[in-house]
């Protein structure tokens, strides 16, 4: 049953998928004590010291600014306005998804993505309204890190990126490539680019608020393992070993 729930989330937004994967991680055995948390056999976290420092910076930044803003945004901005903002950034993301589906030779999905962008950008007024979903065009989620994984590139060491958080060497490189196709990064005016990026991060953080209570124990270890689970799930298009069986 748990795997069925995950499969039903396969083509939903990445933040929804993250919430589901956090729920999965919450059912795993408790993380080992500090000092015993490195997976020596796989050596997945060789930058542990530096990663911890960046993680603490991100946590401080989140507590000081991002989370309070996300709570205020969720509580005081009307739901229809938040939906419009989500739709806009989702339309931007569909451009990147289209390119990566083509690179993975998922032609049918890529054509659907292309149709979504065309319909939502025109009829949906610049992506403010998700008309394509109403017409039955399913939303997908692909990025260059996933494309590299499909091509057989392993994740490499775990890294924590400033602001972006949990990642890997492969996915960090993929993030840089994805930025080349992201219109937000192509905005010439520095203030407009920074404002748009900040709004995108705020929208993303707001979507994760419901999952916060799922995080238990050492947050660093919990989020690290949830990240590996999520990326495996995405790269394999929903195929994930289920240690719990059908319950």
Q: Confirm whether 243 is domain-assigned.
A: no
Domain total in the chain: 1
Q: Confirm whether 128 is domain-assigned.
A: yes
Residue 216 tokens read as: 């238990």
Q: Confirm whether 36 is domain-assigned.
A: no
Measured distance CA(180)–CA(196) in Å, rounded? 16
Residue 185 tokens read as: 């990064």
Instruction: Indicate if the pLDDT at residue 246 is higher than 50.
Output: no
pLDDT tens figures, 110-130: 999 999 999 999 999 999 999
Instruction: Indicate if the pLDDT at residue 11 is higher than 80.
Output: no
Q: Confirm whether 169 is domain-assigned.
A: yes
Q: What is the DSSP letter of 189?
A: S
Q: Around Cβ 203, how many Cβ atoms within 10 Å?
A: 18
Q: Which of 10-19, 35-44, 55-64, 176-185 has the highest mean pLDDT?
A: 55-64
Percent of the chain with pLDDT over 70: 79
Provide mean pLDDT across the span 95-111: 96
Instruction: Indicate if the pLDDT at residue 28 is higher than 60.
Output: no
Q: What is the pLDDT of residue 17?
A: 52
Among the listed ranges 13-22, 66-75, 177-186, which one has the minimum average pLDDT value?
Answer: 13-22
Among the listed ranges 27-31, 133-137, 196-200, which one has the minimum average pLDDT value?
Answer: 27-31
Q: Confirm whether 242 is domain-assigned.
A: no
Q: What is the pTM of this model?
A: 0.81
**Average pLDDT along the chain:** 84
Provide mean pLDDT across the span 150-172: 95
Q: What is the pLDDT of residue 185?
A: 87
The terminus-to-terminus CA distance of the chain in angstroms comes to 5
**Secondary structure (3-state) at 166:** strand
pLDDT tens figures, 167-226: 999 999 999 999 988 899 888 899 999 999 999 999 999 999 998 888 888 999 999 999
Q: Confirm whether 139 is domain-assigned.
A: yes
Q: Confirm whether 171 is domain-assigned.
A: yes
Q: Around Cβ 124, how many Cβ atoms within 10 Å?
A: 22
Residue 128 tokens read as: 């403010």
Q: Confirm whether 33 is domain-assigned.
A: no
Instruction: Indicate if the pLDDT at residue 92 is higher than 80.
Output: yes
The label of the residue with tokens 């992201």 reads 182
Measured distance CA(115)–CA(6) in Å, rounded? 26
- Which residues span the domain enclosing 172? 2-27+45-235
Residue 45 tokens read as: 């976290």
């Amino acid at each position: 049953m748990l795997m069925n729930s995950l499969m039903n989330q396969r083509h939903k937004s990445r933040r929804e998928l993250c919430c589901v994967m956090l729920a999965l991680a919450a059912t795993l055995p408790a993380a080992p004590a500090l000092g015993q948390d490195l997976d020596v056999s796989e050596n997945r976290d060789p930058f542990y010291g530096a990663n911890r420092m960046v993680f603490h910076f991100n946590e401080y930044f989140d507590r000081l600014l991002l989370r309070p803003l996300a709570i205020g945004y969720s509580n005081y901005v009307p739901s229809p306005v938040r939906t419009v903002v989500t739709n806009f950034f989702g339309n931007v993301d569909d451009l990147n998804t289209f390119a990566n589906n083509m690179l993975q030779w998922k032609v049918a999905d890529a054509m659907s993505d292309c149709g979504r962008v065309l319909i939502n950008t025109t009829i949906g007024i610049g992506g403010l309204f998700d008309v394509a979903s109403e017409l039955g065009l399913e939303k997908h989620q692909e990025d260059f890190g996933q494309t590299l994984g499909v091509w057989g590139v392993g994740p490499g060491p775990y890294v924590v990126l400033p602001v972006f958080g949990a990642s890997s060497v492969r996915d960090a490189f993929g993030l840089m490539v994805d930025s080349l196709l992201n219109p937000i990064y192509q905005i010439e005016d520095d203030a407009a680019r920074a404002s748009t990026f900040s709004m995108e991060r705020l929208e993303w953080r707001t979507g994760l608020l419901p999952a916060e209570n799922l995080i238990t124990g050492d947050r660093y270890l919990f989020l690290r393992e949830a990240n590996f689970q999520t990326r495996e799930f995405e790269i394999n298009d929903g195929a994930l070993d289920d240690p719990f069986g059908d319950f």
